[in-house]
Structure 1
Amino acid sequence: MTSLELGPVLRHVGTTTATIWVETSARCVVEVLGTSAPTFEVCGQHYALVVVEGLEPASCLPYEVRLDGELVWPLEGTGTPPSYLRTRAEADHTGRLRFVYGSCRYPPTDDPELEASLGIDALDAFATRLMDEVAAADDAASVLPDALCLLGDQVYADEITPRTERWIRENRDPDDPDGPGLEIADFGEYSHLYSESWSDRELRWLLSTVPTAMIFDDHDIRDDWNTSQAWRDEMAGKPWWPQRIRAGLASYWVYQHLGNLDPATRDADPLYRKVLEADGDVYDLLADFAARADAEVGQPTGVRWSYRWDLGRTRLLMVDTRCARVLNAQDRLMINDHSFAWIEESASDGEVDHLLIGSSIPWLMPPAVSHVQSLDEWAAARGSKLAETVRQAVDLEHWPAFRASFDRLADLIRGVASGPAAPATISVLSGDVHHSYAAEARWSSPTRSRVYQLTCSPVRNGVPWFMEYVFALGWWRGLTGALSRVSRAAGIGELPLDWTTIGGPWFGNAVSTLETSGRDARLRVERSGARGGLEAVAELPLT
């Protein structure tokens, strides 16, 4: 009998449609709520997307998964509530919406010492609480979040668990000088990572029930991915890198990207159509596509991994800040012109009450850190090898390290925030930096929208103890002022806006919830406690 290897994962949900992703043990037909889809094959693995259509807006239905007619989900004996499929309300909906977000989730391990150092998984703790709430509720829809936004580092291809290390040693020689050592090498090893990360009981149920939007960050591929042209040149010299980058982007396309897209966009994708029409393994198709996507880094156009979800009168723009980069010294951009034009168009398309911009890496860092990153970019562009070494050593690769793009995003947000149809709030949701904080932005001329940087990281990982002092120091006005004077002396333009922290920094494993209702918005930040539950560290009104 064919088995359900991974999933179901509830992905893009519209007012009348819902997309469910699965991985199966063999070729089969997958059925959900009377709708079926055949699997496609990648490196001997089998996947399907089932798009259920004709649903009622704002409805909430329990669902099952069948493979070739055999019931495989829900799993017996797990003690979890049913999985639900909840459609969106109509576009003019102004009722309550809840967005749960976070990033950087290191998977469960079988190493007690490592488990103790990583701490309680905040997303697992959130899922456990939600299961209890759903089981106790008369109406599951009343307690379910509207979206889960995973903002990068869903898997760690360069920092594997002890269990995966043993598995790799059983399957290949990690000491091969032409191989990646104890890092992920190919698509099959990536599929092992996703299985390791998404198989635990709590997370598997959560992903089956809450529509999940995802975007990659560096560890989904490798630390410092596309931080600079020097980094790309170094990686190009490694014999194992071409296979690794193809496998990384191909697996991201299968496990994350496909489900991000609405059905019309996905069906119009030539690659997706070729995959569905193919007879047999399609990895060569995906590897060719991945190679082109990687080669287009640095070009004015390229593959657009960014996407948009509209939920009532709240809009989510998930932005690729890794593969859309331009890394020429004379034209260094976080996002190429083609993709940025799409962001600008999507941000100003119609009226919304709240605009959310998902960026795996923060736009507004602690101000002193922002100045350091811009100064490092300035020095590296003038040939400083020390600046390039520091950039890679301490991850000086956030929006301020791409100063032209930082300013362009500031201009975009100010324009939307000042327009006649300005949202009540504009929030940049980010992760990556292994601590959480909320900051409010202000320009010299007041805007009609309130603008925020809302950062939540990690879901489950650590940060060196001294970084707590570094990040705290980054908000110190005295240091910020001194670095601002150095920046002006170097000829770097003034920052186009000011921002101050309204909460944090907080350290530890955390998830955050942004709740909107009409033109009101609130933020809740919760940290995993010593006993396994979640403890609220902040409740902040944003309007």
Structure 2
Amino acid sequence: MKVQPVTVGPIVGATTDTAVRLWGRGKFEKIQSGPRRCFGVARIRQAKAGSSYRQPQYFKMNPNFDMTGIAIFNDLKAETRYNYQMGWFFSDLELDEVQADTRPLNWDIISTQHFTTASANDNQARSFIFGSCRYLLRLFGGSWFDNRGDKTFRSILDQINEQKRQTDAILMIGDQIYADDLNFLNADDSIGEFLRRYRDAFSQPHIRKLMSQVPTYMTLDDHEIEDGWPAHSTEHDWMIKYPAAIHAYKIYQISHSPVFKAVGERLVGIPNKYWYKFSDGCADFFVTDTRTERYLPKKKAEREIISEAQMTAVKEWLKDGSGRVKFLVTAVPVFPGTKMANNDKWGGFPTQQSELLDFIWDEQIERVVFLAGDVHSSLSAELVRKGDASGFKVISLISSPYYWPYPHNPRRAFNLKGKIKSTLSGHTYQVQNAGKVVSTDNFTRVTVDMAGVKVEIYGRKGNLLNERTIQF
């Protein structure tokens, strides 16, 4: 039986020291009785001489999920490189019959990819890439693309494959697609449109290659649905657009994340949330959902950017005593704020912004770093509490955009010496030590150990634009 290459992917998803999730898409073919049965298959082996592939793993590629599927491999070794192959084939058999079929598979046209498992050492330094806002303008019914943004991912690949730089993960923290081209032109509204948008975005050659090599973690922002969501939403949007956008989001961004529970080699259940956490070496990550749980009453003090349940989970994670560096991933910045249009950020939700900051200071949670995107500039800054001479601080790193063909926010757009007055405790927090504001297309590399973070901002073509080290 000849295995065919996946039509989108593969994507290396959630990766621990002992397990990995591999995602791919097969092909839709309609026959008289309905969609033809399509099965995915993947196999894996250690990337060292003399190692053999494990028995292949088979899984359904479901038409309800745009012919995509997940392979889960367990019992892996920490900090170990593995080779893998993934593909698909048609069959009229049931899954259990496919698994029992002893005919050999022909892998001749399937390329070999690789990934490295996470570290189980709580003190192990890590290096990862993060960023947001990758614009891919689709015109003329999808027949022409502005693919300049894919060069950003080529530059990341060059660091990994040519410069041999350790890269343990890539975080894409919002606006992986722009479903609302130019806010009005060809805005997506149906499930078919959203799915085509993802296929196009994730099939560009360099981002596709990158996600096949490096564990990839994602969260959404507004443009996965529409600009400013849900501030300007209508009843039609909630009935038609939102369900379509979220279904496509689950397929292409969340299905390979830790959101879905895994039992053995299968994903089970339907998630009722889109936030999650993971760990690697000295770093803990909590990837928030700051878009789908928003509550927008008229009184600003009552507004919520995340649900009470998510806020509780964030607090429990912050206070879990792991001793590792805490990276809180949020699509929109906690600080520094922007001088205009800040209501869409954490600053537009003052009660919860205050609740989060007060908790970190009251509990003295050390080594907290916010990772954010959205604002079409990259920068770093620190936050201290006025009157606190202990040196305790929180760090904010912002990286945006991977690619945006229009003007970027300059330094003057940000409150880089601004104050945040808690509406709950009355404490005043002060932004300080803001770094250079990079107002061009870029990505950020963060190298972290227990002493601090090294922050490197690179331009779309791979040129170093700014570098600084911040000690905890």
1:127 paired to 2:127: no
Aligned pairs (5 A) from 1:467-486? 467-468=409-410, 470-471=412-413, 474-475=415-416
Partner of 1:140 in structure 2? none
Partner of 1:537 in structure 2? 465
* Structure 2 contact 134–401 (Cα < 8 Å) conserved: yes
* Structure 1 contact 153–218 (Cα < 8 Å) conserved: yes
**For the structure 1 residues 540 and 350, does the alpha-carbon distance in structure 2 shift closer, same or farther, using more than 3 Å as the test?**
same
Aligned pairs (5 A) from 1:361-376? 361-366=332-337, 369=339
* Structure 1 contact 460–509 (Cα < 8 Å) conserved: yes
Larger relative helix fraction = 1
* Aligned counterpart for 1:256 among listed residues 241, 253, 256: 253
Larger relative strand fraction = 2
**For the structure 1 residues 204 and 332, does the alpha-carbon distance in structure 2 shift closer, same or farther, using more than 3 Å as the test?**
same
Partner of 1:515 in structure 2? 447
Q: CA deviation at 1:197?
A: 0.8
* Structure 1 contact 64–73 (Cα < 8 Å) conserved: no
* Structure 1 contact 458–508 (Cα < 8 Å) conserved: yes
Deviation per residue, 1:158-188 (Å, 9 max, x gap): 1179xxxxxxxxxxxxxxxxxx972112222
RMSD: 3.2
Deviation per residue, 1:246-294 (Å, 9 max, x gap): 111111111111211177x3449x9x6368xxxxxxxxxxxxx8xxxxx
In the alignment, structure 2 segments of 5+ residues that lack a partner are: 29-37, 45-54, 90-104
SS, match of residue 213 in structure 1: strand
The one-letter amino acid of 1:453's match is S
* Structure 1 contact 19–52 (Cα < 8 Å) conserved: yes
Partner of 1:28 in structure 2? 39
Q: CA deviation at 1:84?
A: 1.4
1:158 paired to 2:180: yes
Aligned pairs (5 A) from 1:342-491? 342-366=313-337, 369=339, 394=341, 396-416=343-363, 418-419=364-365, 422=366, 425-443=367-385, 444-446=387-389, 450-464=393-407, 467-468=409-410, 470-471=412-413, 474-475=415-416
* Aligned counterpart for 1:71 among listed residues 107, 115, 130: 107
* Structure 1 contact 66–73 (Cα < 8 Å) conserved: no
Q: TM-score scaled by structure 2?
A: 0.82
**For the structure 1 residues 449 and 146, does the alpha-carbon distance in structure 2 shift closer, same or farther, using more than 3 Å as the test?**
farther
Partner of 1:385 in structure 2? none
The one-letter amino acid of 1:307's match is Y
* Structure 1 contact 333–402 (Cα < 8 Å) conserved: yes
The one-letter amino acid of 2:107's match is L
The one-letter amino acid of 2:79's match is A
Q: CA deviation at 1:47?
A: 1.1
Q: Percent same amino acid at aligned positions?
A: 18
Q: CA deviation at 1:45?
A: 2.5
Partner of 1:37 in structure 2? 58
* Structure 2 contact 5–87 (Cα < 8 Å) conserved: no
SS, match of residue 505 in structure 1: coil
Distance 2:26 2:198 in 1: 13
1:9 paired to 2:11: yes
Deviation per residue, 1:131-182 (Å, 9 max, x gap): 3235xxxxxxxx3411101010011111179xxxxxxxxxxxxxxxxxx972
Q: CA deviation at 1:434?
A: 0.4
**For the structure 1 residues 413 and 42, does the alpha-carbon distance in structure 2 shift closer, same or farther, using more than 3 Å as the test?**
farther
Partner of 2:296 in structure 1? 327
* Aligned counterpart for 1:213 among listed residues 191, 195, 217: 217
Partner of 2:93 in structure 1? none
* Structure 1 contact 56–87 (Cα < 8 Å) conserved: yes
* Structure 2 contact 287–329 (Cα < 8 Å) conserved: yes
Deviation per residue, 1:298-325 (Å, 9 max, x gap): xxxxx32111011122101101101122
Partner of 1:313 in structure 2? 282
Partner of 1:383 in structure 2? none
* Structure 2 contact 114–212 (Cα < 8 Å) conserved: yes
Partner of 1:86 in structure 2? 116
The one-letter amino acid of 2:291's match is R
Q: CA deviation at 1:63?
A: 1.6
* Structure 2 contact 221–291 (Cα < 8 Å) conserved: yes
The one-letter amino acid of 1:431's match is G
**For the structure 1 residues 327 and 505, does the alpha-carbon distance in structure 2 shift closer, same or farther, using more than 3 Å as the test?**
same
Partner of 1:107 in structure 2? 136
Matched residue count: 429
**For the structure 1 residues 200 and 160, does the alpha-carbon distance in structure 2 shift closer, same or farther, using more than 3 Å as the test?**
farther
